[in-house]
């Protein structure tokens, strides 16, 4: 989808989850689901980035694969969608530009939530225009193993930290990095990401997946 599809949106709020999604996994999906539940949302939009300003992008899978995998993962959930806007915008993907692009489309009364995991929010000072992000969206952060949200105050300062909502969520030690490493070692990734995503990885030989698909990777 494109943000322009949301012109005239009649819900109360829309949540965005930005990321590289290389690949999408159940950590992202539970984060989205807990945000949907907590804020009684009708729509959570995954926004795969083109270039992360804070990551080495050399080894990132092609944008179209990352987008396709998110699309496959969310296909059976009418409350979840995936947006192309960052992929189609040249240059690094700054979240504030994405939030503003959505703001320009949505009716004024619709709130924008920006949902992150603990690792991402602790990097907020390095983001482009962090104050503006906190002003223009309700930023939400959830636990992630290895990252301590109790340090939010000391790392971000009380004024910034006070604007961030903490989203209760069981800490899930799933990461795209681990999935890529497991695939490259020929290990299975069952129960870390939906079957359709596993199938896409195998079919296209992503992350060094062996062709034809190694049976223990593809088997469901």
Q: Closer to ligand ATP by CB, 62 or 215: give it.
A: 62
| Min CB(85)–ligand ATP separation in Å | 16
Q: Closer to ligand ATP by CB, 108 or 119: give it.
A: 119
Using alpha carbons only, give the angle 132, 133, 135 rounded to the nearest 5 degrees.
60
Q: Closer to ligand ATP by CB, 20 or 98: give it.
A: 20
Distance (Å, whole) CA 117 – CA 170: 12
Distance (Å, whole) CA 132 – CA 125: 12
| Min CB(151)–ligand ATP separation in Å | 15
| Min CB(3)–ligand ATP separation in Å | 19
Q: Closer to ligand ATP by CB, 69 or 120: give it.
A: 120
Q: Closer to ligand ATP by CB, 93 or 176: give it.
A: 176
Q: Where do we find the tokens 């709020």?
A: 13
φ, ψ for residue 126, nearest 5 deg:
-90, -10
Return all residues near 154 (Cβ < 8 A) that are at least 6 apart.
Answer: none
| Min CB(177)–ligand ATP separation in Å | 3
Q: Which two tokens stand for residue 120?
A: 């991402």
Return all residues near 191 (Cβ < 8 A) that are at least 6 apart.
Answer: 26
Q: Which residues bind ligand ATP (CB under 6 A)?
A: 19-22, 27-28, 31, 116-117, 119-120, 142, 144, 172, 174-177
- Burial group, residue 174, by CB count within 10 angstroms (0-12, 13-18, 19+): buried
| Min CB(87)–ligand ATP separation in Å | 14
């Amino acid at each position: 989808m494109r943000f322009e599809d949301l012109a005239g949106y009649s819900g109360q709020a829309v949540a965005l989850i930005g990321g590289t999604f290389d690949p999408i996994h159940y950590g992202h999906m539970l984060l989205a689901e807990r945000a949907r539940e907590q804020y009684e949302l009708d729509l959570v939009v995954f926004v795969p980035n083109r270039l992360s300003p804070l990551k080495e992008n050399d080894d990132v899978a092609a944008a179209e694969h990352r987008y396709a995998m998110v699309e496959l993962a969310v296909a059976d959930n009418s409350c979840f969608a995936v947006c192309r806007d960052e992929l189609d915008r040249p240059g690094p993907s700054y979240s504030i530009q994405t939030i503003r692009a959505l703001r320009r489309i949505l009716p004024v009364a619709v709130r924008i939530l920006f949902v992150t995991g603990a690792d991402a929010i602790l990097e907020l000072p390095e983001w482009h225009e962090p104050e503006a992000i906190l002003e223009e969206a309700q930023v939400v952060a959830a636990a992630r193993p290895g990252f301590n949200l109790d340090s939010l105050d000391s790392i971000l300062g009380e004024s910034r930290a006070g604007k961030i909502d903490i989203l209760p969520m069981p800490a899930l030690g799933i990461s795209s990095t681990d999935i890529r490493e497991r695939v490259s070692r020929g290990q299975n990734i069952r129960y870390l990401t939906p079957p359709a995503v596993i199938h896409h990885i195998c079919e296209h030989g992503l992350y060094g997946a062996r062709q034809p698909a190694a049976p223990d990777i593809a088997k469901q």
